[in-house]
Amino acid sequence: MSPSPRNTRYFLLLPALLLLTAVVSGMGIQAVSGETIPLSGYSPTSNQVYLFLTGPNLPANGVALNDITQRADEGHFTVVPVMGDDSWSYKWNTGRVNGRLDDGTYTIWVVNGPNDRSNLRNAEYGTISVTLGKPGLSAGISGGITAGTASPSCSLVIVSDPAECSVVVNGEYKGKTPLTVGNLYPGTYTINVTKFGYMPYSVAVELTTGAEATVTAYLPPERGTLTVNTTPEGAQVLLDGAVAGIAPVTLINVLPGGHNLTVIKEGYVPVQQQVSVEAGLTTPVSLTLSPVSPLQALPIKTPGLVVATLAGLSCAALAVVRLRSRNT
């Protein structure tokens, strides 16, 4: 993060683990039953997102947004494509869901794969809260910025290394770096910068009237994971010549690229293999070790013993031949 100009405060946040974000204004949506609600977000790690709904009198694991008779735990979702700028959008017609939605608060789940509510442990997901009511009671989108006497005189300049990173400001996708976000009101803004294959970056910036802040995001390459299994188990594992553990073993934070993997176990022939690790992925490797044969077990550094043994055997054979000659 580069030095900031005056009237600007920064609060460094922990790197965001969730790369998929659902976007709405404020803390949620309030709408009249039967209205069409525009939904949007961004997902830099998938080509499509899977939407499902939970709420009053619906199955616990969710239903498809466009048909509430279709259960998510039976593989039914509302699938929305992700655009080239990592954004997605969907217009949800609450009056055409093949059923009736009761008044109340619902949760829309946005997932990067076909995972229902009971199967989100290894998934990336975001949520949107929607409150449906009767006409005349509540409508529109809640939250937002109250201008008061302030004017949208602030701006953010966001650059990154590497370039072409996706930028989300206060939950709203803004584009790719480098970029300038202008016409902002004074206040605190959370900036998330992501790029596939790199660790995410997040920072909070407080802007006062007329301030322009520059944020420089440095994203280190994302690491990979390597799992090593051997038959038999208990082999020593070396990665690029350094001891890494005893198989079976899982190696985390491995730099992407090629590595030299070696496994060693007493009484077995060592095995060496080149492996390739990809950022953000787990690479499984299974190796089988062969027992050392009796010939391989002979002392390598004492060839004289082998020669002497062979010579002795030759002499014995010769003596037998001569003995037989004399007896004939």
Mean pLDDT of 179-192: 88
**What is the C-alpha separation between 104 and 201, in angstroms, rounded?**
36
Residue 221 pLDDT exceeds 80 = yes
Mean pLDDT of 83-87: 81
DSSP secondary structure string, 289-323?
PPBPPHHHHS-TT-HHHHHHHHHHHHHHHHHHHHH
**Most confident among 132-136, 268-272, 305-309 (mean pLDDT):** 268-272
Residue 35 pLDDT exceeds 70 = yes
Predicted pLDDT of residue 240: 94
Predicted pLDDT of residue 12: 39
Percent pLDDT > 70 in the chain is 76
**What is the C-alpha separation between 249 and 256, in angstroms, rounded?**
18
Tell whether domain 224-288 is in CATH 2.60.40.10. yes
Predicted pLDDT of residue 151: 66
Average pLDDT of the chain, as a whole number? 77
Q: Is the distance from CB of 7 to CB of 205 less than 8 angstroms?
A: no
Name the class of domain 26-133: mainly beta
**What is the C-alpha separation between 196 and 191, in angstroms, rounded?**
17
Predicted pLDDT of residue 288: 95
Residue 21 pLDDT exceeds 70 = no
Q: Which residue has the tokens 């370039």?
A: 163
Query: How sure is the predictor about 308, in pLDDT bands with cuts at 50, 70 and 90?
Result: very low
> Which of 22-26, 98-102, 258-262 has the least mean pLDDT?
22-26
C-alpha distances (whole Å) from 196 to each of 19, 257, 285 are: 9, 16, 24
Predicted pLDDT of residue 280: 74
Predicted pLDDT of residue 188: 85
Tell whether domain 152-218 is in CATH 2.60.40.10. yes
**Most confident among 151-165, 191-205, 264-278 (mean pLDDT):** 264-278
Residue 125 pLDDT exceeds 90 = no
Q: Which SS3 state, helix, strand or coil, does residue 117 take?
A: helix
Name the residue ranges covered by the structural domains of the chain. Answer: 26-133, 152-218, 224-288, 301-327
> Which of 84-88, 259-263, 268-272 has the least mean pLDDT?
84-88
> Do 152-218 and 224-288 have matching folds?
yes
